[in-house]
Amino acid sequence: MAHGGARPGAGRKKGSRNKKQVDWNGPLVVDPSALAPGLDALSGMSPQQLEACSPLTFLTHIYRNRGLAAAIRADAAKAALPYAHARLAASRDDQPALPGLDSGWGDDLPPMNRRN
């Protein structure tokens, strides 16, 4: 039996669907009658608003648009998340302490009961 190399019939078949295609077969817009004429189908904004808005504002309008499918809204929310809510940075030892925090702030607290 040969090891390695190309073999006839091996690999992914042409035209096979990936996970996203298998999971998503629904329409983009849930209720087409809810769209106002002259507005963008995804964001619900006018062309003038689209030219002046930032990408974060565009994504925010998409995930707040109740006329869209839930999968589209969730993808827009995931894309906007890093820009709307910053991650907490890890504390470092070389950062100076804030004044007033290290000056005996816990001296008036009762001692903790520790179990061994």
pTM of the model: 0.51
Sign of CA dihedral 88, 91, 92, 95: positive
DSSP for residue 105: T
Q: Burial of 77 by CB count in 10 Å (0-12 exposed, 13-18 middle, 19+ buried)?
A: middle
- Give Cβ neighbours of residue 62 (< 8 Å, ≥ 6 apart): 42, 43, 68, 72, 73, 76
pLDDT of residue 79: 92
Q: What is the C-alpha to C-alpha distance for residues 24 and 72, in angstroms, rounded to an integer?
A: 10
78 vs 25, higher pLDDT: 78
Single-letter code of the amino acid located at 63? Y
pLDDT(68) > 60: yes
Flag whether pLDDT at 74 surpasses 70.
yes
Residue 102, pLDDT > 60, answer no
pLDDT band with cut points at 50, 70 and 90 for residue 78: very high
